């Protein structure tokens, strides 16, 4: 986000390269092109050999395959750009290209470091605990270690990239340090009532979803794919509500409507991140139910532990990439001093409307790439349920149909509520005189849906009720600590 009223803008930077001597450029180009091709061919060959040979399907080679791909990604972050600059006799890089290089360079460097540590741990277990090696380094453990490495590396690179966006700015310009959030169009005398209402909703959301996570963690009978994804959804709902509600409650209590630049861009990022993650997890849960209904005999073979971890990790990484893409583009926009956000949080659509610069690229991205992210999970959910309905109706039974409706009806209701309100805000926006409708729609998918999810997905479930009763009996035991 850049302020308005500035004298110039930085669109590119100058890369000095390795040498200013023109006669050395062909030699440097040949050397680094050869090194890059060797790196590409060598690491791809290692990965293909490990995938194709069953004898190499061990933890050590599993980590080595990821390490090879990481080295390939690290080299591809900088060398192709350097080769293009040498060949074209130019030394420039765009602002967006520079930020992308920083992000992916830090990500692959961090991933390299974490994978080296994981590989060292694998060798430690193999040498010091050879009899327990297969038990300790199980496929699920290996996947978890790689996923944690990916998440930690991405968090590291994202933190530094977002901080650098505050530094890589024009020097001779004023700075917009904060925006004004108008919040809800309510009277001052109603502030206390709405504060108590939303505080109760937020506490219900947090306690309900955390209770779900705790029950799934404590009860061994809930260690199944369905509840594994449900625990991720509960964590996502807590985080989704926490992006906006605490700030909104603080503003209502202090009667202060300001939000800092860093707070606003953080809200944009985490709002998109957890919103997309919610959408992806709903689709994965629908796929899990589809396999359970349509392929019951193969359910355990398909929904293996490692496959569930891969699905969950894919949801987290895809949501992170989606949020990063939109946040970096929002950071390129210009905002004039005294910018007003007519919402209770920094919603992407509202922030774009408040910008002083051209937002056509941002809007095009929302309609195309964002639309794809929106329609694919929804299409997967609806397709899964249509196929399930077809399977059930082949052998019609009132009991079977009633059970399916009681299980799927609530899920479909929340899906339509969630996706319907998002579509209303982003794809069928209200007119300038209907801002209240947009705020109410945002409340539905940001506040109401996360609060209802524990009741809809869990507390109506027989196994979850049993786990809850067992938990409270344990809590009521005199010897409990």
Q: What is the pTM of this model?
A: 0.68
- 98 in any annotated domain: yes
**Residues 316 and 451 occupy one common structural domain:** yes
Please report the pLDDT score of residue 405 as a whole number.
65
Q: Give the integer Cα–Cα distance in Å for 132 and 392.
A: 45
Q: Give the integer Cα–Cα distance in Å for 86 and 79.
A: 10
- At residue 18 the predicted structure's pLDDT band, cuts being 50, 70 and 90, is low
Q: Which of 330-339, 395-404, 428-437 reaches the highest mean pLDDT?
A: 330-339
Helical (H) or strand (E) element with 434 = none
Q: How many CA atoms lie within 13 A of 462 on its CB side?
A: 3
Share of the chain above pLDDT 90, in %: 3
**Residues 75 and 206 occupy one common structural domain:** no
Q: Give the integer Cα–Cα distance in Å for 101 and 74.
A: 10
Q: Is the pLDDT of residue 5 over 60?
A: no
- 82 in any annotated domain: yes
Q: Which two tokens stand for residue 313?
A: 């990790």
Please report the pLDDT score of residue 338 as a whole number.
67
**Residues 340 and 408 occupy one common structural domain:** yes
What's the whole-number mean pLDDT along residues 1-15?
52
Condensed to tens digits (0 to 9), the pLDDT of residues 71-113 reads 888 888 888 877 777 776 666 777 767 778 888 888 888 898 9
Q: Pick from 110, 136, 164: which residue ends a domain?
A: 164
Condensed to tens digits (0 to 9), the pLDDT of residues 186-218 reads 777 777 888 888 899 899 989 988 988 888 888
**Residues 206 and 122 occupy one common structural domain:** no
Q: Give the integer Cα–Cα distance in Å for 48 and 302.
A: 24
- At residue 171 the predicted structure's pLDDT band, cuts being 50, 70 and 90, is very low
Please report the pLDDT score of residue 120 as a whole number.
92
Q: Is the pLDDT of residue 8 over 70?
A: no
| Letter string b/e over residues 445-471, b meaning 16 or more CB atoms within 10 A of that residue's CB | bbbbbbbbbbeebbeebebbeebbeee
Pick the range with the lowest mean pLDDT from 1-5, 181-185, 371-375. 1-5
**Residues 49 and 153 occupy one common structural domain:** yes
Local structure of residue 337 (DSSP, 8 states): T
- At residue 428 the predicted structure's pLDDT band, cuts being 50, 70 and 90, is low
Please report the pLDDT score of residue 116 as a whole number.
92
- 395 in any annotated domain: yes
SS (H, E, C) 161-197: HHHHCCCCCCCCECCCCEEEECCCCCCHHHHHHHHHH
- 172 in any annotated domain: no
Q: Cβ–Cβ contacts within 10 Å for residue 43, how many?
A: 19
Q: Based on the structure, what is the number of domains in the chain?
A: 2
Q: Cβ–Cβ contacts within 10 Å for residue 358, how many?
A: 10
CATH code (residue 121)? 1.20.1070.10
Condensed to tens digits (0 to 9), the pLDDT of residues 380-420 reads 888 887 887 787 777 767 776 666 666 566 667 767 777 77
- Looking at every residue in the chain, the average pLDDT score rounds to 78
Q: Pick from 140, 164, 188: which residue ends a domain?
A: 164
**Residues 193 and 264 occupy one common structural domain:** yes
- At residue 173 the predicted structure's pLDDT band, cuts being 50, 70 and 90, is very low
Percent of the chain as helix, strand, coil, to the nearest 5: 75, 5, 20
Condensed to tens digits (0 to 9), the pLDDT of residues 226-247 reads 888 888 988 998 998 898 888 8
Q: Give the integer Cα–Cα distance in Å for 431 and 442.
A: 15
- 174 in any annotated domain: no
Q: Which two tokens stand for residue 131?
A: 């009899």
**Residues 409 and 267 occupy one common structural domain:** yes
| Cβ pair 331, 95 in contact under 8 A | no
Q: Give the integer Cα–Cα distance in Å for 385 and 390.
A: 9
**Residues 343 and 399 occupy one common structural domain:** yes
Q: Which residues have a Cβ under 8 Å from the Cβ of 57 and sit 6 or more positions away? A: 50
**Cα of 9 vs its chain's centroid, Å:** 31
Burial of 202 (0-12, 13-18, 19+ CB in 10 A): buried
**In 3D, which of 406, 409, 388 has the Cα closest to residue 398?**
406
Helices (H), 295-368: 299-302, 305-330, 348-354, 360-367
Please report the pLDDT score of residue 117 as a whole number.
92
Q: Which domain holds residue 438?
A: 180-476
Burial of 241 (0-12, 13-18, 19+ CB in 10 A): buried
**Residues 128 and 226 occupy one common structural domain:** no
- 205 in any annotated domain: yes
| Cβ pair 355, 335 in contact under 8 A | yes
CA-CA distances (angstroms) from residue 198 to 81, 444, 448?
50, 12, 10
Q: Give the integer Cα–Cα distance in Å for 393 and 371.
A: 32
- 481 in any annotated domain: no
Condensed to tens digits (0 to 9), the pLDDT of residues 112-160 reads 899 999 999 999 998 998 888 888 888 878 888 888 888 888 888 877 8
**Residues 371 and 470 occupy one common structural domain:** yes
- 170 in any annotated domain: no
**What is the distance between the terminal CA atoms of the chain, rounded to a whole angstrom?**
51
Burial of 478 (0-12, 13-18, 19+ CB in 10 A): exposed
Local structure of residue 259 (DSSP, 8 states): E
- At residue 376 the predicted structure's pLDDT band, cuts being 50, 70 and 90, is confident
**Residues 110 and 244 occupy one common structural domain:** no
**Residues 63 and 142 occupy one common structural domain:** yes
Q: Pick from 111, 134, 164: which residue ends a domain?
A: 164
Give bridge partners of residue 334 from the DSSP assignment: 2
Q: Give the integer Cα–Cα distance in Å for 31 and 466.
A: 67
Please report the pLDDT score of residue 47 as a whole number.
86
């Amino acid at each position: 986000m850049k302020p308005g009223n500035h004298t110039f803008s930085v669109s590119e930077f100058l890369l000095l390269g390795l040498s200013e001597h023109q006669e050395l450029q062909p030699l440097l180009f040949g050397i680094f092109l050869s090194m890059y091709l060797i790196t590409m061919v060598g690491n791809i060959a290692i990965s293909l050999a490990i995938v194709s040979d069953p004898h190499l399907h061990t933890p050590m080679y599993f980590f080595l395959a990821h390490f090879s791909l990481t080295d390939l990604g690290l080299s591809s972050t900088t060398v192709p750009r350097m080769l293009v600059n040498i060949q074209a006799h130019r030394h420039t890089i765009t602002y967006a290209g520079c930020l992308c290089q920083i992000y992916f360079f830090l990500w692959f460097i961090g991933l390299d470091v974490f994978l080296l540590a994981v590989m060292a741990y694998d060798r430690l277990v193999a040498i010091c605990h050879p009899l327990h090696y297969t038990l300790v380094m199980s496929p699920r453990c290996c996947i978890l270690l790689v996923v944690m490495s990916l998440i930690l590396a991405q968090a590291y690179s994202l933190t530094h990239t977002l901080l650098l966006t505050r530094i890589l700015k024009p020097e001779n310009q004023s700075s917009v340090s904060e925006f004004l959030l108008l919040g809800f169009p309510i009277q001052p005398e109603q502030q206390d009532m709405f504060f108590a209402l939303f505080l109760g909703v937020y506490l219900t959301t947090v306690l309900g979803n955390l209770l779900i996570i705790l029950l799934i963690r404590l009860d061994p009978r809930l260690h199944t794919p369905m509840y594994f994804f449900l625990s991720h959804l509960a964590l996502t709902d807590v985080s989704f509500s926490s992006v906006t509600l605490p700030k909104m409650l603080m503003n209502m209590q202090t009667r202060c409507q300001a939000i800092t630049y860093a707070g606003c861009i953080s809200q944009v990022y985490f709002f998109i991140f957890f919103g997309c993650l919610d959408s992806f997890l709903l689709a994965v849960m629908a796929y899990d139910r589809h396999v359970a209904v349509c392929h019951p005999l193969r359910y355990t073979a398909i929904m293996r532990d490692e496959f569930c971890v891969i699905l969950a990790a894919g949801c987290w990484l895809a949501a992170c990439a989606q949020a990063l893409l939109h946040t970096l583009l929002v950071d390129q926009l210009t905002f004039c001093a005294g910018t007003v956000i007519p919402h209770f949080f920094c919603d992407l659509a509202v922030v774009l409307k408040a910008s002083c610069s051209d937002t056509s690229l941002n809007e095009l991205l929302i309609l195309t790439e964002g639309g794809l992210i929106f329609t694919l999970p929804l299409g997967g959910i609806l397709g899964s349920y249509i196929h399930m309905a077809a399977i059930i109706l082949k052998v019609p039974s009132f009991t079977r149909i009633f059970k399916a409706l009681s299980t799927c009806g609530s899920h479909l209701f929340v899906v339509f509520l969630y996706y319907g309100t998002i579509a209303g805000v982003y794809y069928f926006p209200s007119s300038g005189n209907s801002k209240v409708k947009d705020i109410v729609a945002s409340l539905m998918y940001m506040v109401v849906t996360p609060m209802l999810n524990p009741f809809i997905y869990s507390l109506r479930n027989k196994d979850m009720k049993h786990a809850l009763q067992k938990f409270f009996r344990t809590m009521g035991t005199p010897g409990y600590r």
